[in-house]
């Protein structure tokens, strides 16, 4: 088994910071204009109108929760696994939308403030995120210390 140190940082610390930051940025973008995000969801033509607001709140809440938990390092394996499934669902949803022939000016990944069109590579980005989540899940049990603790066990206090 690899020792703590640079391996720990590369296998858990870097993915945690990246995945957590992306999830928090995504949740923040949606939260700043939740009604705009609901309008983006409507362009997918996948849900009845009454379900758009609950779905928008669910997605945004999940991203806030998972991003915070991953950055914090609490229940890291469970959070990484949940984020993996979330990104797989996003990739599947985008793929189905592309197959249906819908052209969306904004995929909604970061709400309305950073609009990104839905393109053929959009699901690939989510698959890459899912892969990073898998790697984090896989290595989190080997390197369980939170970001508030140094690899040698000392805290930042």
> 136: which residues sit within 8 A by CB, 6+ positions away?
12, 15, 16, 19, 70, 76, 80
| pLDDT tens by residue, 41-87 | 999 999 999 999 999 999 999 999 999 999 998 789 999 999 999 99
Domain that holds residue 76: 6-140
- Confidence band for 139, pLDDT divided at 50, 70 and 90: confident
Token pair of 141 as six digits: 């049990």
Q: Is the pLDDT of residue 157 over 50?
A: no
CB 129 within 8 A of CB 22: yes
**Secondary structure of 35-99 in the HEC alphabet?**
HHHHHHHHHCCCCCHHHHHHHHHHHHHHHHHHHHHHHHCCCHHHHHHHHHHHHHHHHHHHHHHHH
Q: How many folded domains does the chain comprise?
A: 1
C-alpha–C-alpha distance, residues 43 and 27, integer Å: 19
Instruction: Determine, yes or no, domain membership for 145.
Output: no
Q: Is the pLDDT of residue 156 over 50?
A: no
Share of the chain above pLDDT 90, in %: 74
Instruction: Determine, yes or no, domain membership for 52.
Output: yes
Residue 48, pLDDT score: 96
- Confidence band for 124, pLDDT divided at 50, 70 and 90: very high
Q: Is the pLDDT of residue 1 over 60?
A: no
Instruction: Determine, yes or no, domain membership for 97.
Output: yes
Average the pLDDT over each of 20-29, 109-118, 133-142 and give the range with the smallest value.
133-142
CB 72 within 8 A of CB 125: no
Instruction: Determine, yes or no, domain membership for 24.
Output: yes
Instruction: Determine, yes or no, domain membership for 40.
Output: yes
Q: What is the pTM (predicted TM-score) of this model?
A: 0.84
Q: Taking residues 20-48, report their average pLDDT.
A: 97
Instruction: Determine, yes or no, domain membership for 74.
Output: yes
Which residue's structure tokens are 């849900």? Answer: 47
């Amino acid at each position: 088994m690899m020792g703590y140190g640079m391996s720990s940082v590369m296998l858990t610390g870097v993915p945690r910071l990246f995945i957590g930051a992306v999830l928090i940025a995504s949740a923040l973008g949606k939260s700043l204009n939740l009604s705009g995000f609901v309008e983006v969801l409507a362009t997918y033509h996948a849900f009845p109108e009454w379900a758009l607001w609950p779905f928008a709140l669910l997605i945004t809440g999940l991203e806030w929760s998972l991003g915070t938990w991953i950055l914090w390092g609490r229940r890291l394996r469970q959070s990484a696994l949940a984020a993996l499934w979330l990104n797989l669902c996003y990739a599947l949803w985008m793929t189905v939308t592309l197959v249906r022939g819908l052209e969306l000016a904004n995929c909604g990944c970061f709400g309305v403030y950073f609009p990104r069109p839905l393109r053929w590579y959009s699901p690939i980005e989510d698959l890459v995120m899912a892969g990073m989540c898998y790697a984090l899940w896989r290595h989190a049990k080997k390197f369980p210390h939170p970001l508030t603790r140094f690899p040698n066990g000392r805290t930042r206090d």
